[in-house]
Structure 1
């Protein structure tokens, strides 16, 4: 009898594994195409504004501190609503400080909505008290995208990857930063820095009839789509008594965290509102583009629109991504751009700087394929890493957001990018990207580095090279999931 039970258990486990592999992996192996009804909406001409300036002004939050400070200012000055969508929350005092500020905003009556990814969102373990504190507050709503469900393997791979923060109809921050000390490098932080960037958008028509002309209106509509989509769930519809107690304890601890920040950084808590008008540059047009929200294989909305832009360029395209995967669509677009443009540059990490073994191993093992497209590749020589996802085109258009040059961003995850028609902002972003270029080495046609008297290639420990190679053994056959 016991033997039969064991046999049945093994059969059931085998059937479940077959079910998981069949529906969790195979559907992603065949990339989706953009539907015919969507294609007319992808006209690249809509990214270009008229000669006059629009209602939006913007600036780059490039340094880790500027990324943190801009978030604290937005939350502090919000009067009616704050909407936050973010991929994940990681360790660090800055995570506590940002959520402390959100709870303080809720205390003064601001309506706060927070959406994180349901599998890697980060408010678990030692940070679960923050999730309880959010759920317990009457002015906060907390939800997660696509939490794990054991009987829906076709949804396991889909993650929420957007990073957007909106305050009222006045200010928005959109970019590639998650929340955590690696992204904000607070005073005393000694770890490796994950260098990223945000765009801070200021709606000059806030509160006026023309406010709806701002890209913030589109961003708010997109947030509402995320908020109400079928994949988004409320993780704690009700809290147990122990959870309520933990929520109260965490809220009290976060008040102390905020008080300490006010003492340490009084310049963030001045009485006068931040002068966005004189801290930003004008823009002719800002356009938000994003992927579908279904929790499964997606049509490549963002990837196709960025490709269309690159293929219509006349002079130059510069791309920055922390890593790339060698999918056929990406390689084909790069080859076409290199054949027609004087300059096509890819800026990315090196083995020395990259902390992402699965994705970067696929790039480094396929680097010759990227070289053969004819583009120029520049790899950062630093112990800190690039995490920014940005594009420059023809001295005028820029794009910043969450989209990586990989299969996952193209076909699996939610993503958002801001396409920017502003020569003034272009110069800001170009200067920031050039600063990485000045710390990078160009990859030559023989897959080695070109000599550069100003930049020395970093030594890569043998164990890191070995781990990259081992990771590539998995990343090659499963590239479509990376």
Structure 2
């Protein structure tokens, strides 16, 4: 896979749910960008990832990648609240449709690599991974088309460097629903608490 990417002339498309390139990966991708190879990466956003520490590891490398001219996109989770949006048709999503799962690499719209390999240290050094290389411009164009839909504003965030001196936006705090117990009187709450403590004392010995 590294050899195919190293020989790219025009474009490398990367779909890696867990993307932690480390310093060596940053240098490799930056070298491609310096040769005017367009490098575009799609990975999970913090809202979509199912492994937060992996995303934290990835964010460390974002500035260097962006400064090198690499395009970064982060997958949006699909709303499951019945908010009226029609579901997206992005085949890189997992079975839950809320997180990115597919691992796809398209080189020069000629070669496609499909498999289980993420661009992260675990796939590179610990896991046993499988991949298949498909030499087919027609199939590569189809996969590139899916990539374009996956990185659209409807499906993904575009990550960009803020202008110098810009103030980062203040995150909006989540709105927490009122708990039913908040409507109880103080007396009822105290009685419930005492009953719960007695019940806990009665049953806790059996659990140990």
TM-score class, shorter-chain normalisation, is 0.5 to 0.7
Q: List gaps (5 residues or longer) in structure 1.
A: 1-305, 448-457, 463-482
Name the CA distance, whole Å, in 2 between partners of 1:459 and 1:367: 23
Q: 1:372-428, CA deviations, whole angstroms, 9 ceiling, x for partnerless residues?
A: 332111112224111111111112101110000101111111111111101121122
Name the CA distance, whole Å, in 1 between partners of 2:131 and 2:14: 13
SS at 1:432 equivalent: helix
Match of 2:129 in 1: 415
More helix by share: 1
SS at 1:405 equivalent: coil
**1:326 and 1:362 in contact (8 A); partners too:** no
Q: 1:325 aligns with which of 2, 20, 43?
A: 20
SS at 1:345 equivalent: strand
CA drift at 1:329: 1.9
Name the CA distance, whole Å, in 1 between partners of 2:106 and 2:14: 7
Q: Does residue 362 of structure 1 match 2:69?
A: no
Match of 1:316 in 2: 11
**1:351 and 1:460 in contact (8 A); partners too:** no
Name the CA distance, whole Å, in 2 between partners of 1:461 and 1:411: 38
Structure 1 residues 357 and 425, CA gap change in structure 2 (3 angstroms):
same
CA drift at 1:461: 5.3
Structure 1 residues 342 and 330, CA gap change in structure 2 (3 angstroms):
closer
**1:349 and 1:379 in contact (8 A); partners too:** yes
Match of 1:441 in 2: 157
CA drift at 1:342: 4.1
Q: Does residue 404 of structure 1 match 2:150?
A: no
Structure 1 residues 328 and 459, CA gap change in structure 2 (3 angstroms):
same
Match of 1:224 in 2: none
Runs of 4+ in 1 over 4 A off after TM superposition: 458-462
What is the CA RMSD across the aligned residues, in angstroms? 2.3
Q: List gaps (5 residues or longer) in structure 2.
A: 79-97, 164-170, 176-208
Q: 1:349 aligns with which of 17, 22, 44?
A: 44
Structure 1 residues 459 and 420, CA gap change in structure 2 (3 angstroms):
farther
Name the CA distance, whole Å, in 1 between partners of 2:30 and 2:173: 30
Structure 1 residues 428 and 328, CA gap change in structure 2 (3 angstroms):
same
TM-score normalized with structure 1 length: 0.29
Name the CA distance, whole Å, in 2 between partners of 1:460 and 1:310: 42
Instruction: Name the structure, 1 or 2, with higher relative contact order (CA <8 Å, separation 6+).
Output: 2
Structure 1 residues 411 and 355, CA gap change in structure 2 (3 angstroms):
same
Q: 1:330-381, CA deviations, whole angstroms, 9 ceiling, x for partnerless residues?
A: 1111111111134110111111111211211211243223323321111122
Structure 1 residues 460 and 377, CA gap change in structure 2 (3 angstroms):
farther
Q: 1:243-286, CA deviations, whole angstroms, 9 ceiling, x for partnerless residues?
A: xxxxxxxxxxxxxxxxxxxxxxxxxxxxxxxxxxxxxxxxxxxx
Match of 2:32 in 1: 337
Q: 1:430 aligns with which of 144, 157, 164?
A: 144
Name the CA distance, whole Å, in 2 between partners of 1:333 and 1:365: 16
TM-score normalized with structure 2 length: 0.64
